[in-house]
């Protein structure tokens, strides 16, 4: 689940990576993998990267 308001889902595990879409607080996501401070997630058939501190249970 996403925590924070309008969290950017990015195309890569970097703040400079293009934004694919923004996710609102409490959106349910599937965590595929986490590395360093980023998690690869999927939601509604799309996949990308969120900062780990924006995902409940990942930090």
Q: What is the model's pLDDT at position 28?
A: 95
- Nearest residue to 40 (alpha-carbon basis) of 2, 13, 3: 13
Q: 38-58 burial string, b = 16+ CB within 10 Å, else e?
A: bbbbebeeeebbbbbebbeeb
pTM confidence score: 0.90
Cα–Cα distance measured from residue 17 to residue 25, given in angstroms and rounded to the nearest whole number: 21
Cα–Cα distance measured from residue 15 to residue 44, given in angstroms and rounded to the nearest whole number: 22
Query: Which tokens sit at 32?
Result: 């595929």
Structural domains present in the chain: 7-54 (2.30.30)
Yes or no: say if 7 and 50 are a contact pair by the CB < 8 Å rule. yes
Q: What are the pLDDT digits (tens) for 2-44?
A: 998 899 999 999 999 999 999 999 999 999 999 889 999 999 9
């Amino acid at each position: 689940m996403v925590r924070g308001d309008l969290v950017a889902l990015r195309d890569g595990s970097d703040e400079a990576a293009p934004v694919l879409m923004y996710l609102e607080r409490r959106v349910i996501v599937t965590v595929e993998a986490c590395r360093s401070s980023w998690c690869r997630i999927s939601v509604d058939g799309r996949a990308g990267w969120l900062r780990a501190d924006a995902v409940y249970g990942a930090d």
